[in-house]
Amino acid sequence: MVTTAELVNVAHVTALVAAAFLVLVLDTFSRRKRGGAALAVGFAGVATSFVATTFHLGAGTDATAFAGTVAVDPFALFFSVAVLIATALVLVSSTEYVGRVFPDRRESLTEYVVLVLLAATGMLVMASARSLVTAFIALELAALPSYALVAFAKDDGAGVEGGMKYFVLGALSSAFLLYGISLVYGATGTFDFAGVASRLSAADAAGLGGLGALFVLVGLGFKVAAFPFHVWAPDAYTGAPTPVTAFLSSASKIAGFVLMFRVFTVAFPTSLNWLLAVQALAVLTMTYGNFAAAVQSSVKRMLAYSSIGHAGYVLIALAVFSSGGEDAALALGAGMSHLFVYAFMNTGAFLVVALVDDYWGVGYEFEDYAGIARQAPVVGVAMAVFMFSLAGLPTGGGFLSKLAVFAGAVRSGFWWLALLGAVNSALSLYYYSRVLRWMWVEEPEENAPTLEGRPVGIYAAILVAAVGTLALLFVFEPVLSTAEAAAASLLS
């Protein structure tokens, strides 16, 4: 039986569910579509969830719910804050975006909001999962609305193609994950993370359990777009409405990593030798992502491959994980803090693309961005903050979060991973600065389109993301210490 205490502990999740159902009720009983009301309700739901999450995080809540299948602990709450920040930015930016870019889909704005809220709900549950079954259900709750969001523009061939590839490869990844879960259950007789870890410590379960862990790694590798399981990401990110791309590349990736962190640090002991596989994934992912991004001609596609590279940096935090101690908490906390900063800088960068490419209709190529910063200096400065922070320069929190990830690797004895990460980060400066060169230095062509309109919603979301990215350069220490404390509580 569900108790009142359990309902209070999961209030941050139920707030999103309630908002989604309220939007559906309003849409059902209203004589006409009310997209503005849907956005207001959706944002109110996210704000309520954010307040509940920060309250539990500040109070140090560490509890379980629903027969121990869901955890409400500092680890889950830390990631929930990052997911909710990205979700709020996407909803705010969608205020004018859908009506301007997809005028024939204006009446579908209510469905758009519901899909975003339900996907975010799945991501929050992913962060709290303590059972392999709960993890899979939460992952599918996040994935199914995301498929529809990618193909939101039904008349756009690129969007439909991206949505179809995302759906097919998402189903394939779910099959890998389910098969891995079945092997783990066959070896241990339980779905509970702690029970799995206890049983896999026995020699007779290690063989089958290790094979199951490998399949689980492949399934989650698809979800975080790690190489070579990234093949859906560039087309899905490029074809989707750009705010949806921001949502998938930030919130969805964060949720995928929180589940990966929890599963592999709690359920699967390092004696299964999964660390070597994660180290290989980290090297291949960040190297491939950065080299692929460097040869793109489209800014949006460059950012899509860049997000793959950042997945490689975060994988370093898991690749250097050891069985316990301060070094493990430091490494894991560093990866968590980078994902927190990533929620601001990556979402903001994609929202600039949404404004320039889609709303203003300037174009998708680097050359189309010529001179934009001089016509819209606020957007140009914000993009500079995002690009340099993503590259790891001291213009935002990305500088310190990358430094923390590399320091965690060195402290754990994996200096070569830190070196490869630093080399890849230096390479990324080439293609990030390329965007800024066209925005600030190059002259636009005579027939370049004028920048008509200053959409309040997109501008507000971009400014919040830019201020957050810049502020994290100065207040990064509390974020890192909170992340380390959350990681330590998970590992204790």
Give pLDDT tens digits for 177-186.
Answer: 999 999 999 8
What confidence category does residue 30 fall into, taking pLDDT thresholds of 50, 70 and 90? confident
pLDDT at position 104, please? 62
Query: Given 3-state DSSP classes, what are the helix, strand and coil percentages for the chain, each rounded to the nearest 5?
Result: 80, 0, 20
Over residues 401-430, the mean pLDDT reads 90
What confidence category does residue 103 fall into, taking pLDDT thresholds of 50, 70 and 90? low
* Greatest alpha-carbon span in the chain: 73
pLDDT at position 357, please? 85
Chain-centre distance for alpha carbon 211: 27
Buried b (16+ CB within 10 A) or exposed e, 383-414: bbbbbbbbbbbebbbbbbbbbbbbebbebbeb
What confidence category does residue 376 fall into, taking pLDDT thresholds of 50, 70 and 90? confident
pLDDT at position 400, please? 92
What is this structure's pTM?
Answer: 0.92
Q: How far is CA 5 from CA 45, 123, 160, in A?
A: 20, 22, 44
61 against 55, higher pLDDT: 55
Residue 324 has pLDDT above 60, yes or no: no
Range of lowest pLDDT (55-59, 343-347, 365-369, 444-448): 444-448
Average pLDDT value over all residues in the chain: 87
What confidence category does residue 205 fall into, taking pLDDT thresholds of 50, 70 and 90? low
pLDDT at position 467, please? 95
Over residues 43-58, the mean pLDDT reads 92
pLDDT at position 67, please? 82
Residue 323 has pLDDT above 60, yes or no: no
Question: How far is residue 106's CA from residue 117's CA, in Å, rounded to a whole number?
Answer: 18
